[in-house]
Amino acid sequence: MNSKIRALSIVSVSILVMVRTTSAATFNLAVNLSDSIRPVTRAASGSLYGLTESLPSDYATMVAPLKPFMFTAPALSGSGHQQGVAAAAIPISAKLANTTGSVTIRLADVLPGWPYTWPGFASWKASVTSVINSKIASGRKNYYGYEIWNEGNDTWNSANGDFNTTVWKPTYDLIKSLDPQAKVIGPSYSYYNNTSMKAFLTFARDNKCLPEIICWHQWGAASLSSTIDTYRALEKSLGISPRAISINEYSSKISDPYEGCPGYSVPFIAKFERKGVESACISWWFTGLPGRLGSLLTSSNAKGGAGISTSGTAT
Protein backbone atom coordinates (compact mmCIF):
# COMPACT_ATOMS: atom_id res chain seq x y z
CA MET A 1 0.00 0.00 0.00
CA ASN A 2 1.55 3.39 -1.02
CA SER A 3 1.81 6.26 1.45
CA LYS A 4 -1.01 8.27 -0.14
CA ILE A 5 -3.49 5.37 0.12
CA ARG A 6 -2.30 4.59 3.64
CA ALA A 7 -2.90 8.19 4.70
CA LEU A 8 -6.39 8.21 3.20
CA SER A 9 -7.21 4.96 4.99
CA ILE A 10 -6.09 6.38 8.34
CA VAL A 11 -8.17 9.53 7.79
CA SER A 12 -11.21 7.45 6.79
CA VAL A 13 -10.94 5.28 9.90
CA SER A 14 -10.50 8.36 12.11
CA ILE A 15 -13.59 10.02 10.64
CA LEU A 16 -15.59 6.81 11.08
CA VAL A 17 -14.54 6.55 14.73
CA MET A 18 -15.45 10.20 15.29
CA VAL A 19 -18.87 9.76 13.66
CA ARG A 20 -19.60 6.65 15.70
CA THR A 21 -18.41 8.27 18.92
CA THR A 22 -20.46 11.39 18.26
CA SER A 23 -23.50 9.32 17.34
CA ALA A 24 -23.19 7.13 20.42
CA ALA A 25 -22.84 10.15 22.66
CA THR A 26 -26.37 11.27 21.76
CA PHE A 27 -27.83 8.22 23.55
CA ASN A 28 -27.52 8.68 27.29
CA LEU A 29 -28.66 6.15 29.85
CA ALA A 30 -29.34 7.68 33.26
CA VAL A 31 -29.83 5.46 36.29
CA ASN A 32 -31.20 7.07 39.44
CA LEU A 33 -29.99 4.86 42.26
CA SER A 34 -31.88 6.93 44.81
CA ASP A 35 -35.17 5.74 43.36
CA SER A 36 -36.54 2.21 43.81
CA ILE A 37 -39.67 0.16 43.30
CA ARG A 38 -39.72 -1.01 46.91
CA PRO A 39 -37.24 -2.00 49.62
CA VAL A 40 -35.25 -5.16 48.92
CA THR A 41 -37.42 -8.18 49.72
CA ARG A 42 -35.65 -11.10 48.01
CA ALA A 43 -39.13 -12.37 47.28
CA ALA A 44 -37.88 -14.77 44.59
CA SER A 45 -35.22 -16.41 46.74
CA GLY A 46 -37.41 -19.30 47.87
CA SER A 47 -37.64 -22.80 46.48
CA LEU A 48 -40.04 -25.73 46.46
CA TYR A 49 -38.62 -28.63 48.48
CA GLY A 50 -35.29 -26.83 48.09
CA LEU A 51 -34.20 -27.78 51.60
CA THR A 52 -34.04 -31.10 53.38
CA GLU A 53 -32.90 -31.99 56.85
CA SER A 54 -29.47 -32.90 55.46
CA LEU A 55 -29.14 -30.80 52.29
CA PRO A 56 -27.63 -28.40 51.57
CA SER A 57 -25.06 -29.86 53.94
CA ASP A 58 -23.98 -26.42 55.16
CA TYR A 59 -26.85 -23.96 55.60
CA ALA A 60 -24.43 -21.33 56.86
CA THR A 61 -22.57 -21.08 53.55
CA MET A 62 -25.18 -22.28 51.03
CA VAL A 63 -28.42 -20.79 52.39
CA ALA A 64 -27.80 -17.93 54.80
CA PRO A 65 -25.81 -15.75 52.33
CA LEU A 66 -28.86 -15.71 50.00
CA LYS A 67 -30.76 -13.82 52.72
CA PRO A 68 -33.83 -15.87 51.76
CA PHE A 69 -37.41 -15.01 52.56
CA MET A 70 -39.56 -18.15 52.24
CA PHE A 71 -39.24 -21.85 51.40
CA THR A 72 -42.07 -24.34 50.86
CA ALA A 73 -41.73 -27.65 52.72
CA PRO A 74 -44.01 -30.63 53.36
CA ALA A 75 -45.83 -30.66 56.69
CA LEU A 76 -44.64 -34.25 57.21
CA SER A 77 -42.24 -36.33 55.14
CA GLY A 78 -40.85 -39.84 54.93
CA SER A 79 -42.64 -43.15 54.52
CA GLY A 80 -46.39 -42.82 54.15
CA HIS A 81 -46.29 -39.18 53.06
CA GLN A 82 -46.23 -37.50 49.66
CA GLN A 83 -42.54 -36.56 50.02
CA GLY A 84 -40.40 -39.54 50.99
CA VAL A 85 -37.18 -37.65 51.71
CA ALA A 86 -36.73 -36.23 55.22
CA ALA A 87 -37.67 -32.60 54.58
CA ALA A 88 -40.51 -31.78 56.97
CA ALA A 89 -41.28 -28.13 57.58
CA ILE A 90 -40.78 -28.06 61.36
CA PRO A 91 -37.25 -29.56 61.36
CA ILE A 92 -36.45 -27.30 58.38
CA SER A 93 -37.49 -24.26 60.40
CA ALA A 94 -34.92 -25.29 63.01
CA LYS A 95 -32.22 -25.49 60.32
CA LEU A 96 -33.21 -22.01 59.15
CA ALA A 97 -33.18 -20.49 62.62
CA ASN A 98 -29.95 -18.56 62.00
CA THR A 99 -31.03 -17.27 58.59
CA THR A 100 -33.65 -14.82 57.34
CA GLY A 101 -35.71 -17.66 55.89
CA SER A 102 -39.22 -18.72 56.82
CA VAL A 103 -41.19 -21.87 56.00
CA THR A 104 -44.53 -22.53 54.37
CA ILE A 105 -46.08 -25.66 55.86
CA ARG A 106 -47.73 -27.57 53.00
CA LEU A 107 -50.41 -29.51 54.86
CA ALA A 108 -51.53 -31.67 51.95
CA ASP A 109 -48.16 -33.42 52.02
CA VAL A 110 -49.14 -35.28 55.19
CA LEU A 111 -50.99 -37.56 52.76
CA PRO A 112 -49.52 -40.27 50.53
CA GLY A 113 -49.58 -40.53 46.77
CA TRP A 114 -49.93 -38.21 43.82
CA PRO A 115 -52.61 -37.08 43.39
CA TYR A 116 -53.10 -37.14 47.14
CA THR A 117 -55.00 -40.06 48.65
CA TRP A 118 -57.81 -38.59 50.73
CA PRO A 119 -58.30 -40.57 53.99
CA GLY A 120 -61.48 -38.88 55.18
CA PHE A 121 -61.78 -35.80 57.33
CA ALA A 122 -61.29 -37.47 60.72
CA SER A 123 -57.86 -38.83 59.75
CA TRP A 124 -56.95 -35.57 58.02
CA LYS A 125 -57.96 -33.54 61.07
CA ALA A 126 -55.83 -35.70 63.37
CA SER A 127 -52.76 -35.28 61.15
CA VAL A 128 -53.22 -31.53 60.72
CA THR A 129 -53.83 -31.05 64.45
CA SER A 130 -50.61 -32.91 65.24
CA VAL A 131 -48.64 -30.71 62.81
CA ILE A 132 -50.09 -27.50 64.24
CA ASN A 133 -49.33 -28.58 67.80
CA SER A 134 -45.76 -29.49 66.83
CA LYS A 135 -45.30 -26.14 65.13
CA ILE A 136 -46.52 -24.28 68.23
CA ALA A 137 -44.39 -26.45 70.53
CA SER A 138 -41.26 -25.60 68.51
CA GLY A 139 -41.47 -22.05 69.83
CA ARG A 140 -40.01 -20.69 66.61
CA LYS A 141 -41.51 -17.77 64.72
CA ASN A 142 -39.98 -18.40 61.30
CA TYR A 143 -43.13 -19.86 59.76
CA TYR A 144 -44.71 -18.12 56.79
CA GLY A 145 -48.08 -19.84 57.06
CA TYR A 146 -50.11 -23.00 56.48
CA GLU A 147 -50.86 -23.94 52.87
CA ILE A 148 -54.00 -26.03 53.22
CA TRP A 149 -53.90 -27.86 49.90
CA ASN A 150 -51.78 -28.07 46.76
CA GLU A 151 -53.17 -27.91 43.22
CA GLY A 152 -56.71 -28.65 44.25
CA ASN A 153 -57.87 -27.93 40.70
CA ASP A 154 -55.97 -31.09 39.66
CA THR A 155 -55.47 -33.20 42.80
CA TRP A 156 -58.88 -33.15 44.48
CA ASN A 157 -61.23 -35.96 43.51
CA SER A 158 -64.77 -34.59 43.41
CA ALA A 159 -66.03 -38.03 44.45
CA ASN A 160 -64.72 -37.14 47.93
CA GLY A 161 -67.17 -34.25 48.14
CA ASP A 162 -67.08 -30.53 47.52
CA PHE A 163 -63.55 -29.28 48.17
CA ASN A 164 -64.54 -26.00 49.78
CA THR A 165 -66.94 -27.52 52.31
CA THR A 166 -65.09 -30.83 52.83
CA VAL A 167 -61.54 -29.52 53.20
CA TRP A 168 -61.06 -25.77 52.95
CA LYS A 169 -63.56 -24.33 55.42
CA PRO A 170 -63.18 -27.00 58.17
CA THR A 171 -59.35 -26.89 57.94
CA TYR A 172 -59.30 -23.09 57.96
CA ASP A 173 -61.45 -23.08 61.09
CA LEU A 174 -59.23 -25.72 62.71
CA ILE A 175 -56.09 -23.66 62.07
CA LYS A 176 -57.64 -20.49 63.42
CA SER A 177 -58.91 -22.27 66.54
CA LEU A 178 -55.49 -23.78 67.38
CA ASP A 179 -53.09 -21.16 66.02
CA PRO A 180 -55.16 -17.99 65.55
CA GLN A 181 -52.29 -15.66 64.61
CA ALA A 182 -51.00 -17.93 61.85
CA LYS A 183 -51.58 -17.04 58.22
CA VAL A 184 -53.49 -19.33 55.88
CA ILE A 185 -52.30 -19.76 52.29
CA GLY A 186 -54.38 -20.83 49.29
CA PRO A 187 -55.83 -21.93 46.97
CA SER A 188 -52.46 -22.94 45.43
CA TYR A 189 -53.84 -23.71 42.00
CA SER A 190 -51.50 -25.36 39.51
CA TYR A 191 -52.13 -22.36 37.24
CA TYR A 192 -54.19 -19.19 37.44
CA ASN A 193 -57.78 -19.50 36.22
CA ASN A 194 -59.97 -16.47 36.90
CA THR A 195 -63.24 -18.40 36.88
CA SER A 196 -61.97 -20.89 39.45
CA MET A 197 -60.41 -18.13 41.54
CA LYS A 198 -63.66 -16.16 41.53
CA ALA A 199 -65.64 -19.17 42.73
CA PHE A 200 -63.10 -19.86 45.48
CA LEU A 201 -62.91 -16.26 46.69
CA THR A 202 -66.67 -15.87 46.64
CA PHE A 203 -67.08 -18.96 48.82
CA ALA A 204 -64.27 -17.89 51.16
CA ARG A 205 -65.67 -14.37 51.49
CA ASP A 206 -69.20 -15.57 52.18
CA ASN A 207 -68.07 -18.23 54.67
CA LYS A 208 -65.46 -16.15 56.51
CA CYS A 209 -62.48 -18.26 55.50
CA LEU A 210 -60.43 -15.99 53.24
CA PRO A 211 -56.73 -16.81 53.22
CA GLU A 212 -54.34 -14.03 54.21
CA ILE A 213 -52.05 -15.09 51.36
CA ILE A 214 -53.29 -15.92 47.86
CA CYS A 215 -51.12 -18.30 45.87
CA TRP A 216 -50.91 -20.07 42.56
CA HIS A 217 -48.21 -21.64 40.37
CA GLN A 218 -46.85 -19.72 37.40
CA TRP A 219 -45.66 -21.36 34.18
CA GLY A 220 -43.66 -18.74 32.29
CA ALA A 221 -43.14 -15.07 33.07
CA ALA A 222 -44.81 -13.62 29.98
CA SER A 223 -48.34 -13.52 31.41
CA LEU A 224 -47.41 -12.84 35.03
CA SER A 225 -48.04 -9.08 35.13
CA SER A 226 -51.39 -9.28 33.37
CA THR A 227 -52.44 -12.23 35.55
CA ILE A 228 -51.74 -10.27 38.72
CA ASP A 229 -53.69 -7.31 37.31
CA THR A 230 -56.59 -9.66 36.58
CA TYR A 231 -56.46 -11.03 40.11
CA ARG A 232 -56.37 -7.56 41.69
CA ALA A 233 -59.37 -6.53 39.61
CA LEU A 234 -61.21 -9.66 40.80
CA GLU A 235 -60.49 -8.82 44.45
CA LYS A 236 -61.85 -5.34 43.95
CA SER A 237 -64.98 -6.56 42.18
CA LEU A 238 -65.73 -8.92 45.09
CA GLY A 239 -65.10 -6.28 47.74
CA ILE A 240 -62.11 -8.17 49.15
CA SER A 241 -59.21 -6.23 50.59
CA PRO A 242 -55.86 -6.81 48.82
CA ARG A 243 -54.20 -10.05 49.86
CA ALA A 244 -50.48 -10.80 49.85
CA ILE A 245 -49.56 -12.82 46.74
CA SER A 246 -47.27 -15.85 46.79
CA ILE A 247 -46.22 -17.48 43.52
CA ASN A 248 -45.34 -20.62 45.40
CA GLU A 249 -44.05 -22.56 42.40
CA TYR A 250 -42.60 -20.91 39.31
CA SER A 251 -40.67 -22.05 36.26
CA SER A 252 -40.22 -20.90 32.70
CA LYS A 253 -42.25 -23.77 31.26
CA ILE A 254 -43.11 -27.41 31.89
CA SER A 255 -40.09 -29.74 32.00
CA ASP A 256 -37.71 -26.94 31.08
CA PRO A 257 -34.00 -27.86 31.23
CA TYR A 258 -33.14 -24.19 31.72
CA GLU A 259 -35.15 -23.79 34.90
CA GLY A 260 -33.20 -21.56 37.25
CA CYS A 261 -30.87 -20.09 34.63
CA PRO A 262 -30.39 -16.31 35.00
CA GLY A 263 -31.86 -15.46 31.60
CA TYR A 264 -35.07 -17.28 32.48
CA SER A 265 -35.22 -16.12 36.09
CA VAL A 266 -34.66 -12.36 35.64
CA PRO A 267 -38.08 -11.69 34.02
CA PHE A 268 -39.77 -13.41 36.96
CA ILE A 269 -37.73 -11.52 39.53
CA ALA A 270 -38.36 -8.16 37.85
CA LYS A 271 -42.12 -8.74 37.66
CA PHE A 272 -42.33 -10.00 41.22
CA GLU A 273 -40.85 -6.68 42.32
CA ARG A 274 -42.88 -4.46 39.98
CA LYS A 275 -46.18 -6.15 40.81
CA GLY A 276 -45.59 -6.38 44.56
CA VAL A 277 -45.45 -10.18 44.91
CA GLU A 278 -44.59 -11.01 48.53
CA SER A 279 -42.95 -14.41 48.09
CA ALA A 280 -42.06 -16.92 45.41
CA CYS A 281 -40.50 -20.38 45.16
CA ILE A 282 -38.58 -21.64 42.16
CA SER A 283 -39.87 -25.09 41.29
CA TRP A 284 -38.11 -28.41 40.85
CA TRP A 285 -40.26 -29.60 37.98
CA PHE A 286 -37.32 -30.44 35.74
CA THR A 287 -34.80 -31.77 38.22
CA GLY A 288 -36.96 -33.44 40.84
CA LEU A 289 -34.13 -33.29 43.37
CA PRO A 290 -35.01 -32.12 46.90
CA GLY A 291 -32.44 -30.14 48.84
CA ARG A 292 -31.12 -28.44 45.73
CA LEU A 293 -32.61 -24.95 46.29
CA GLY A 294 -35.04 -25.62 43.49
CA SER A 295 -32.79 -25.77 40.45
CA LEU A 296 -29.91 -23.65 41.73
CA LEU A 297 -27.49 -26.36 42.89
CA THR A 298 -26.04 -29.30 40.97
CA SER A 299 -27.10 -32.87 41.68
CA SER A 300 -24.04 -33.13 43.97
CA ASN A 301 -25.16 -29.94 45.79
CA ALA A 302 -22.48 -27.70 44.32
CA LYS A 303 -23.09 -24.08 43.31
CA GLY A 304 -24.05 -23.12 39.77
CA GLY A 305 -26.53 -25.86 39.06
CA ALA A 306 -29.05 -23.97 36.93
CA GLY A 307 -29.30 -25.65 33.55
CA ILE A 308 -27.73 -28.88 34.83
CA SER A 309 -29.62 -32.11 34.37
CA THR A 310 -30.16 -34.67 37.14
CA SER A 311 -27.15 -36.59 35.81
CA GLY A 312 -24.98 -33.54 36.35
CA THR A 313 -24.57 -32.86 32.64
CA ALA A 314 -24.87 -29.28 31.38
CA THR A 315 -27.91 -28.84 29.20
Q: Cβ(108)–Cβ(167) under 8 Å?
A: no
Neighbours of 309 (CB within 10 A): 14
Which pLDDT band, with edges at 50, 70 and 90, does 132 fall under? very high
pLDDT of residue 12: 40
Same domain, 181 and 237: yes
Same domain, 176 and 253: yes
Which pLDDT band, with edges at 50, 70 and 90, does 306 fall under? low
Q: Cβ(82)–Cβ(106) under 8 Å?
A: no
Same domain, 20 and 61: no
Average pLDDT over residues 279-288: 85
CA distance 41 to 129: 32
CA distance 48 to 178: 26
Reply yes or no on whether the pLDDT at 212 is more than 70: yes
Q: Tell me the three state secondary structure of residue 226.
A: helix
Residue 211: inside a domain, yes or no? Answer: yes
Mean pLDDT taken over the chain: 88
DSSP letters for 77-98 = -STTSS--SS--HHHHHHHTTT
pLDDT of residue 293: 92
Same domain, 139 and 2: no
The one-letter amino acid at 24? A
Same domain, 5 and 132: no
What percent of the chain shows pLDDT beyond 70? 87
Q: Cβ(51)–Cβ(293) under 8 Å?
A: yes
The one-letter amino acid at 112? P
pLDDT in tens, 104-116: 999 999 999 999 9
Same domain, 115 and 262: yes
Q: Cβ(109)–Cβ(90) under 8 Å?
A: no
| Length of the chain, in residues | 315
Same domain, 16 and 98: no
pLDDT of residue 307: 54
Same domain, 22 and 88: no
Average pLDDT over residues 127-150: 98
Residue 307: inside a domain, yes or no? Answer: no
Residue 295: inside a domain, yes or no? Answer: no
The domain tally of the chain equals 2
Same domain, 77 and 224: yes
Residue 309: inside a domain, yes or no? Answer: no
pLDDT in tens, 237-282: 999 999 999 999 998 776 566 777 878 889 999 999 999 999 999 9
This prediction's pTM = 0.86
DSSP letters for 253-283 = STT-TTTT-HHHHHHHHHHHHHTT--EEEE-
Same domain, 86 and 5: no
The CATH number assigned to the domain holding 195 equals: 3.20.20.80
Residue 293: inside a domain, yes or no? Answer: no
Residue 312: inside a domain, yes or no? Answer: no
Give φ, ψ of 218 to 5 degrees: -125, 120
Give φ, ψ of 252 to 5 degrees: -70, -40
Same domain, 25 and 47: no
Same domain, 73 and 215: yes
Residue 306: inside a domain, yes or no? Answer: no
Parent domain of 73: 43-282
Residue 54: inside a domain, yes or no? Answer: yes
